[in-house]
Amino acid sequence: MSATTTTHPAVRTGSLPRLARLAWQEARPSVQVIFLLRFLTGAVLAAAGGWLVTWSAAAGVACWCCVVAAIYLHNGATDVTEDRGNGSERPVASGRLPAGTAAAWARGLAVTGVIAGLAAPAPVAALALFMLGLGWAYSSGPRPMKRTVAGFLVVVITGGGLTYAAGAAAGGGTVTAELVFCGLAMSLWMGIAGSTKDLSDVCGDRQAGRRTLPVLLGPARCRLVMAASVLSIGAGSVTVSLAWLPRLLPMAAVLLLGSALVAVLLTRLPADGDRRRRRHPYRAFMITQYCAHLVILAEVTLGRA
C-alpha cells in the first residue's frame, strides 16, 4: 500500500502499560540507546582517572534519558502530517497512540528529566534545559527548524555536542582533546550522515512544507552531495587521529569504513526504489555510530583496566 493511500485506524486509548510501550516505540528505541552511548562516551573520555558510577552520575544519566525521550515524543506528536505522508508505522502516525497523549508523556518526561538533573552535577540541569529548548525549536514554534536544511543541521549537531558535554559533566571529568574531537566528529556524523533519512521521506516532507536536501536538489544530486560529505568526515577523522590522537584511531577507522559503506549505498540507490531500500544508507549510518561508540568505550575501559 502506498504512502498516499495508507489508512489510519481510529485512535484507541488503553492501559498505562500499553501507553508506556507505545510511547517508548514512538520515542524510537534505537535513537534513545545511541544517545545513551554518546552520554557515556562523553563521561569516560572526560574522566582521566576512570569514571566512577555515583548517585549524582546516575541522576545525570536519568536526566538525559528523560530529556531525549521527551524531545522525540514531542517530535512524533508534531510530525503527523509528514509521517503519514511517508507511510510511517510509528504509533502516532498509525493511529495507535493519540498525538495529545504523546505530547503529555513528553511534558511529563521533560519535567522528570529536569528534576533528576537537579540531583546531578550543576552543569547537567542547565544543559538539559538548553537541550529541551533546542528540541522545542526543532519541532514547534512559528518556524520549526526541522523545515530547513540549515535548521536541521544546527539542531542535530548542537544536540550531539550537548550530549557529550552533559556526559562529561555528569562524570565529573574535565574537557580533553579526545572529548572535543570525538564530540565534534560524531556530532558532524549525526547531522550530515543522519540526513540520509530524508531520502526515504521526500513525499511526506514535501507535503508538510519541509525543504530538506532531497526536496531542494532532487534525489540524484542530493545523493552525490551526501556521499562526498560523509566521506570527508571519515577521511578527516582518520587524518586527525593519525596526527594527534592515536588512541581514537579505531573509532576513526570505523567512521571511515562506515562512510565508505554509506557512500556506496547512496550511489547505488535506484531512483524508483521502495522506501525500505531508500533507508539503507540511514541504517548504515546508524550501525556505524553504534560501532564507533562501542569501540571508544571498549578502548577507554580496557585501557584503564
End-to-end CA separation in angstroms for the chain: 54
Whether residues 211 and 278 share a domain: the answer is yes
Q: Count CB-CB contacts under 10 A for residue 150.
A: 10
Whether residues 75 and 131 share a domain: the answer is yes
Residue 10 in contact with residue 131, Cβ under 8 Å? no
Please work out, in degrees rounded to the nearest 5, the angle formed at the alpha carbon of residue 273 by the alpha carbons of 269 and 278: 60
Q: Which domain holds residue 133?
A: 21-174
Q: Give the tens place of pLDDT for each residue, 114-132.
A: 999 999 988 999 999 999 9
Whether residues 83 and 161 share a domain: the answer is yes
Domain annotation covers residue 3: no
Whether residues 201 and 287 share a domain: the answer is yes
Q: What is the pLDDT, as a whole number, of residue 54?
A: 82
Q: Which residues of 93-113 are buried (b: 16+ CB within 10 A; e: fewer)?
A: bbbbbbbebbbebbeebbebb
Quick check: 9 pLDDT over 50?
no
DSSP string, 6-30: ---PPP----HHHHHHHHHHHT-HH
What whole-number distance in Å separates Cα of residue 88 and Cα of residue 3? 8
Whether residues 67 and 200 share a domain: the answer is no
Q: Which of 113, 143, 174 delimits the end of a domain?
A: 174
Whether residues 300 and 219 share a domain: the answer is yes
Q: Give the tens place of pLDDT for each residue, 220-274.
A: 999 999 999 999 999 999 999 999 999 999 999 999 999 999 999 999 987 666 7
Residue 177 in contact with residue 244, Cβ under 8 Å? yes
Domain annotation covers residue 233: yes
Q: Which of 134, 150, 174 delimits the end of a domain?
A: 174
Q: Give the tens place of pLDDT for each residue, 36-78.
A: 999 999 999 988 656 667 888 899 999 999 999 999 999 999 9
Whether residues 27 and 170 share a domain: the answer is yes
Whether residues 73 and 187 share a domain: the answer is no
Residues composing the chain: 305
Match 525549536 to its residue by C-alpha cell: 137
What whole-number distance in Å separates Cα of residue 299 and Cα of residue 295? 6
Residue 292 in contact with residue 258, Cβ under 8 Å? yes
How many domains in the chain? 2
Q: Give the tens place of pLDDT for each residue, 142-162.
A: 999 999 999 999 999 999 999
Residue 266 in contact with residue 225, Cβ under 8 Å? no
Q: Which of 174, 195, 216 delimits the end of a domain?
A: 174
